[in-house]
Chain A
Amino acid sequence: MNAAGDTRRLPCGTSLASLVDQVAEGIEPVDPEHQVVCPYCQAALRELEQLWGTVREMAREDVAPPSRLIEKVVVRIRRELRALGQLVPLEAIVPALVRHALLSGPRGSTRIADAVIARIVAKTTRDTPGIHALSVHAVRVVRGGLSGSPASRGVEIAVAGHSVTVEVRLVVEYGRSIPHLAAEVRRRVVRSVEALTGLEATRVDVLVDDVFGDPEAPEPRRFRLSRPSPRRF
């Protein structure tokens, strides 16, 4: 602020500032008795009312935004998404489906969608010798939305921070030890989840839904083999 005291104080000694606030805020005068009889205050108030009338007029002004502002913004966002390869509409359609595991670092965080983990689990499980397939008929309705993508059916994932729990439903080849197969699936899943995502699979449940290669089996046999995996592989 400059030191031009004259412009900021009326000849009667009243500060311009107090009158400005009075007018702008519509509040009571600091010194009403002086104000009503003081010609300087009265003149200043009239002037300020007029100036503030202009401020209020400006506040009411209709300012139209440029015609294509939104379009330009949307085009830029689309371009950005395309560059990131992220323009996948699934999340947009079923927001509840998207869950992420979170890895925080000092220079930013990494979030891994549960669908990514499910795919890793599915591939690892299918590649295990003695596993015939993941159970296609075991698709569950996940969280009231759609079932998982075909690439990861038979797998369910729950993520919390950097921990993941996994359930795989599968069909084994007839004649193999099911407990051994389950243990092998568990070991491989823990290892590949950790190697590829840095997350820890703290629990891997294996549900054997069927066996393949036994023509006499009248209906699917179900063995549930559930055991926490070792904390660390």
Chain B
Amino acid sequence: MVVETDDSQLVRAAQVGDLAAFEVLLRRHEARVYRVALRLLGDPDEAEDAAQEAFVQAWQALSMFRGASSLSTWLYRIVTNRCLNLLQARRPEEPLDERHEARTLDPAHAVETGGALATLRRAILELTPEQRGPLVLRELEGRSYEEIAEILEISVPAVKSRLHRARVELVVAMRSWA
């Protein structure tokens, strides 16, 4: 019989240095950590780096994890923080538009080749980091308002208002390219 060990037992083992236990946790959570990084950053290489850094940071900070929130919430927080910091740092000298104009395609072309999904991807990357975090966590990751508030360390009303604005911005951007 295979007994599935739950996260909290593995966390306890990993906290005292059991790297094998931590590896099991990594495998359990790698897909979502990488996915949220990719959604936030829009670039597979950057997302891989961010996911890797987030996991190393999680190992280093594991002794501080007290289990007040679930491990997945805690990991979401680490990786989201890292990505949003990257976006903030990137913003002033490197406007998103230019960055993605060069790499992706112009909107009209994107619609032709990638269809609606490509347009959506581009529209998400046009959002400010403040709006992108709540949008990705809610609409793509399906997290609750309360969990998003915990992940982003902001209040629930702040989550709602940012999300609300993010949705409108997204629609306006997608419409303008349609």
Contact = CB atoms under 8 A, between A and B. Distances in A.
Interface of A: 1, 4, 7-8, 16-17, 20-21, 24, 47-48, 51, 54-55, 57-59, 61, 63-66, 69-70, 72-74, 76-78, 80-81, 86, 88, 91-92, 95, 98
Contacts of A51: 116, 120, 170-171, 174-175
Contacts of B44: 66
Interface residues of B, number: 46
A72 B48 CA distance: 10
A17, A48, A77: most-surrounded residue (chain B CB, <10 A): A77
A47 B175 contact: yes
B75 to A, nearest CB: 12
A74 B19 contact: yes
A57 B176 CA distance: 20
B23 A20 contact: no
B140 A92 contact: no
Interface string B52-64: 1001100100000
Contacts of A20: 164, 167-168, 171
Nearest to A81: B19
B104 to A, nearest CB: 16
22 contacts: A7-B175, A8-B168, A8-B172, A17-B164, A20-B164, A20-B168, A24-B139, A48-B171, A51-B170, A54-B116, A54-B119, A54-B174, A55-B139, A55-B140, A69-B30, A73-B52, A73-B55, A76-B52, A78-B19, A91-B17, A91-B18, A92-B13
B19 to A, nearest CB: 6
B154 interface: no
- Which of B17, B59, B139 has the most chain A CB within a 10 Å cutoff? B17
Given A55-B120, A58-B140, A76 B56 contact: yes
Nearest to B58: A73
Interface in B92-150: 116-117, 119-121, 139-142
Interface string B19-31: 1111100110011
Nearest to B17: A91
Contact of A95 (B18, B165, B167, B168): B18
Nearest to A72: B52
Contacts of A4: 172
B110 to A, nearest CB: 13
Contacts of A8: 168, 172
A95 B38 contact: no
Given A7-B172, A54-B116, A58-B140, A77 B19 contact: yes
A91 B20 CA distance: 12
B16 interface: yes
Nearest to A89: B17
Contacts of B38: 63
Contacts of A7: 172, 175-176
Contacts of B167: 17, 20-21, 24
A51 to B, nearest CB: 6
Contact of A54 (B52, B120, B168): B120
A24 B163 CA distance: 10
A70 to B, nearest CB: 5
Nearest to B172: A7
Contacts of A58: 117, 120-121, 140
Given A59-B140, A95-B18, A1 B30 contact: no
A194 B48 CA distance: 47
